[in-house]
Amino acid sequence: MNYVSTRGQVEPLEFQQAVMMGLADDGGLLIPEHIPDVRDRLDAWGALDYPALAGAVLRLFTTDMPADDLDRLIEASYGETFEPDVAPVVRVGELFVLELWHGPTMSFKDVALQLLGNLFEYILARGGGRMNILGATSGDTGSAAICGARGRDGIDIFMMHPAGRVSPIQARQMTTVLDDNVHNIAVEGSFDDCQRIMKTLAGDLDFKRRYALGAVNSVNWARVLAQIVYYFKAAFDVQRATGAERVRVCVPTGNFGNILAAWYAVQMGAPISRLILATNENDILARFFNTGQYALGSVHETLAPAMDIQVASNFERYLYYKLDGDDRRLQARMAEFSRTGSLMVEPERPGGGPDPLFEAGAATRDDILAAIRRCHDQYGYLIDPHTACGYSVVTSLVPAGVGEAGGPDDTEPTVVVATAHPAKFPDAIREATGADIARHPQIDALADKPTRCVTLDNDIEAVRKFIIDTVG
């Protein structure tokens, strides 16, 4: 399996080269040359545990790695790192919830970043050299990436977050990690500013090569690849519980990486009939899938800060496929978006969105609080504000969870992706329920730990200088 850039100016790469390149050198995003069809393997895959299923999926995309080496990396990433399981599915009323917060930082980002940290170390050990990871986070990516990279040989990690715009707990999960190879940067701006700085420095090829910049954000294909696995697993689990032929999946998303992984799973043949995209008030993606127009708006600070994003970096991968793999048309559309802040994809049906696979909706602050309260009061189950966006959108589109949406799939069960442990957002839980019930010993222990972080202006050159001064 080789990898190409959405912008067509990079020679095909093998998997390990794609992992180390991160953002494609032409400014695009790396994607596999083809998407495998696995419909003839679903029965066998449905009987596998999580590590074995991960091996089955990843082997299709990592053909330059010995199978035994890949299996060892998977075991190191998932064998004892997640409790009680990597991605358990639980029933909550009429819905199913895919709990992706059982990793070391209690976020869905752990599933991909535990593997990516091991991949980086494996590749560096065989090729020599060092890597300086430059990342941007709107919340959970930072702590998960730091956890995956801390203390590793040959790696330094520079993680930018928007100053004052992540939750206090998310900030402490990052800044209390004091390993010598971990460097936290609070940027005086938004997440989109952090992402712009990251992409600009990665696009400066002389700087990227001289300072061996690598990427842990979902611009790195390995992030998306690792996430594909849990959509197969969730679909299989719900099939066993219900006997349904296919399921629907609702994904709260800001940067489009998590739901893009679900889209890839569908293209491969996962038994998923519909993708329900949920945003908060930063609804650029919901507007796109309802109208076909992808247009910038103002960034709103919300109770779900990891989704306070306007420019979704993974959208370019999806757009490439919508344009039939035409890299010239893709470049023209992205140039149009850079120039005007808007682009249009024609709807596939009158009055509908550009893709019949997707439904989409947005949750307001009141919607988020109401979803948390309803889930707790009716079912004794706590969800974080990001998961609440998904829960709210699902229950507005499908009022009883199943059976009331209309259409050919109205009896299919629905899975809501739970992206973080509620203890990471105690203020929102307290506001919704009136009680201080979102607790976890690991989170409570952060309060007394020392922190280390540097605050920089919202300026590309300030971040560049910090990296140079740090690594020499």
| Residue 322 is among the residues annotated as catalytic for this protein | no
Task: Answer whether 191's CB lies under 8 Å from 309's CB.
Answer: yes
Q: What is the pLDDT of residue 348?
A: 67
Which residue's entry shows tokens 């895959």? Answer: 45
HEC sequence for the chain: CCEEECCCCCCCECHHHHHHHCCCCCCCCEEECCCCCCHHHHHHHCCCCHHHHHHHHHHCCCCCCCHHHHHHHHHHHHCCCCCCCCCCEEEECCEEEEECCCCCCCECHHHHHHHHHHHHHHHHHHHCCCEEEEEECCCHHHHHHHHHHCCCCCEEEEEEEECCCCCHHHHHHHHCCCCCCEEEEEECCCHHHHHHHHHHHHHCHHHHHHCCEECCCCCCHHHHHHHHHHHHHHHHHHHHHHCCCCEEEEEECCCCHHHHHHHHHHHHCCCEEEEEEEECCCCHHHHHHHHCEEECCCCCCCCCHHHCCCCCCCHHHHHHHHCCCCHHHHHHHHHHHHHHCEEECCCCCCCCCCCCCEEEEECCHHHHHHHHHHHHHHHCCCCCHHHHHHHHHHHHHCCCCCCCCCCCCCCCCEEEEECECHHHCHHHHHHHHCCCCCCCHHHHHHHHCCCCCEEECCCHHHHHHHHHHHHC
The residue annotated as part of the active site, out of 109, 199, 208, 322, is 109
pTM: predicted TM-score of the whole model, two decimal places: 0.92
Q: In angstroms, rounded to a whole number, what is the distance separating the alpha carbons of residues 159 and 179?
A: 13
Pick 398 or 203 by higher pLDDT.
203
Alpha-carbon distance of 294 to 285, in angstroms, equals 7
Q: How confident is the model at residue 349 (pLDDT cuts 50, 70, 90)?
A: low
Phi then psi dihedrals of residue 187, to 5 deg: -100, 135
Backbone angles phi, psi at 130, to 5 degrees: -130, 170
Checking 65-69 for CB contacts under 8 A at 24+ apart, the result is: 65/15, 65/16, 69/122
CA angle at 288 for the pair 236 and 100, rounded to the nearest 5°:
30
> Are the C-beta atoms of residues 179 and 147 closer than 8 Å to each other?
no
Report how far residue 136's alpha carbon sits from residue 257's, in angstroms, rounded to the nearest whole number: 14
- Which has more pLDDT, 139 or 365? 365
pLDDT of residue 64: 97
Q: What's the average model confidence in pLDDT over 95-99? A: 97
Distance CA 431, CA 411 (A): 34
The pLDDT tens digits of the residues spanning 6-56 come to 999 999 999 999 999 999 999 999 999 999 999 999 999 999 999 999 999
Q: What is the C-alpha to C-alpha distance for residues 347 and 302, in angstroms, rounded to an integer?
A: 30
Asked if residues 88 and 418 have their Cβ atoms less than 8 Å apart, the reply is: no
Q: Each residue of 181-227: pLDDT tens digit?
A: 999 999 999 989 999 999 999 999 999 999 999 999 889 999 999 99
In the beta sheet, which residues pair with residue 278? Answer: 252, 361
Q: Is residue 400's pLDDT more than 70?
A: no
Task: Supply the pLDDT for residue 116.
Answer: 95
Mean pLDDT of the chain: 93
The per-residue pLDDT for range 128-150, each reduced to its tens digit, is: 889 999 999 987 889 999 999 99
Q: Is the pLDDT of residue 409 over 70?
A: no
Mean of the pLDDT values across residues 101-113? 95
Residue 406 has pLDDT above 60, yes or no: no
Closest to 273 in 3D by CA, of 407, 396, 427: 407
pLDDT in tens, 428-441: 999 999 999 999 99
- Token pair belonging to 62: 């990592």
Percent of the chain exceeding pLDDT 90 equals 87
Residue 226: how many CA atoms within 13 Å on its side-chain side? Answer: 30
Residue 130: other Cβ atoms inside 10 A: 14
pLDDT, tens digit, for every residue of 289-323? Answer: 999 999 999 889 999 988 998 889 899 999 999 99
Burial 179-218 (b: 16+ CB within 10 A, else e): eebbbbbbbebbbbbbbbbbbebbeeeeebeebbbbbbbb
Say which CATH topology domain 89-103+222-441 has: Rossmann fold (3.40.50)
